[in-house]
Amino acid sequence: MIAVLDYGIGNLRSAEKALRRVGGDARLVAEPAEAEGAAGVVLPGVGAFGACARALRSSGLDAVALRAVREGVPFLGICVGCQLLFEGSEEDPDEPGLGVLEGSVRRIPGEVKLPQMQWNRLELRPGARSAMLPPQEDGGWFYFVHSYAPVPEGGAADCVVATCDYGGPVVAALERASLWATQFHPEKSGRSGLELLGRFVRGCSGVGAGEGRRPAGLPG
């Protein structure tokens, strides 16, 4: 079972349906107990960082996300779910993130139109090896809707596997062992997005909570 964390923010069913379409036994879970034994955990998110962070903590599902990361259970953060992995966001400085990855989330700089609401091409980081992204030269096209993006620091900077060009490079995908995170929406990204989700589903096969290995560099 793949637990899609339902903390009352946005339309989470699109992620659930896309995971089911590629063969995953995805289920929305609103209570921490419902995620027990999950082979994978997905944290979607749309809207404002602060509202999502507060709702996640209020639901108690923040503990599910942190436990999955700590225990090496395959984990996928999507859009604001990706941003929540960081220490905080300038969108709501008083609301902390989960602090799994070093760095913060910042407004996309420059004079570009915000939000970025379009398909954009990924640019793979030179030398990056990714289990998440389809192996193609141009990185593929994916759908973005956001005004803020992660700015990784320290070891988290090494987790960046792809950026997109929107008035300059914008972090689009991060990966560290079983932890995956995308600023784009794979569930809305057609064939490329489904291929990514299929890779996640296959990575969840045979791995239950507590059976994975703790990824190096993550908090204990």
Q: CB–CB of 72/107 below 8 Å?
A: no
Q: Report percent pLDDT > 70 for the chain.
A: 91
Whether 10 maps to a domain, the answer reads yes
pLDDT at position 9: 86
**Cα(11)–Cα(45) distance, rounded to whole angstroms?**
9
DSSP assignment string, 41-90: EEE---S-HHHHHHHHHHHTHHHHHHHHHHHT--EEEETHHHHTTSSEET
Residue of 16, 159, 185, 204 marked catalytic:
185
- Going by C-alpha positions, the residue among 115, 105, 131 that lies closest to residue 199 is 131
Residue 195 falls within a domain, yes or no? Answer: yes
Could you tell me which of 54, 156, 125 has the C-alpha nearest to residue 96?
54
Using omega within 30 degrees of 0 as the cis cutoff, is the peptide bond preceding 115 cis? yes
36 is annotated as an active-site residue: no
Is 52 assigned a catalytic role? no
Residue 209 pLDDT > 50? no
Catalytic site includes residue 187: yes
Residue 12 counted as domain residue: yes
Q: What CATH code is carried by the domain that includes residue 187? A: 3.40.50.880
Q: Is residue 47 part of a domain?
A: yes
The active-site residue out of 71, 175, 187, 195 is: 187
Active-site residue identified among 79, 82, 159, 204: 79
**CA distance linking residue 203 with residue 41, whole number of Å:** 11
- 109, part of any domain: yes
Number of domains in the chain: 1
Contact between 142 and 171 (Cβ < 8 Å): no
Mean pLDDT across the stretch 151-173?
A: 96
Residue at 177 is within a domain: yes
What is the average pLDDT across 176-185?
A: 97
Domain of residue 197 covers 2-204
CA dihedral 124, 126, 128, 134 (to 10 degrees): 30
Separation between Cα atoms, residue 83 and residue 97, nearest integer Å: 8
The structure's pTM equals: 0.91
In a domain, 53, yes or no: yes
Are residues 176 and 215 in contact, defined by beta-carbon separation less than 8 angstroms?
yes
Answer whether residue 128 is part of any domain. Answer: yes
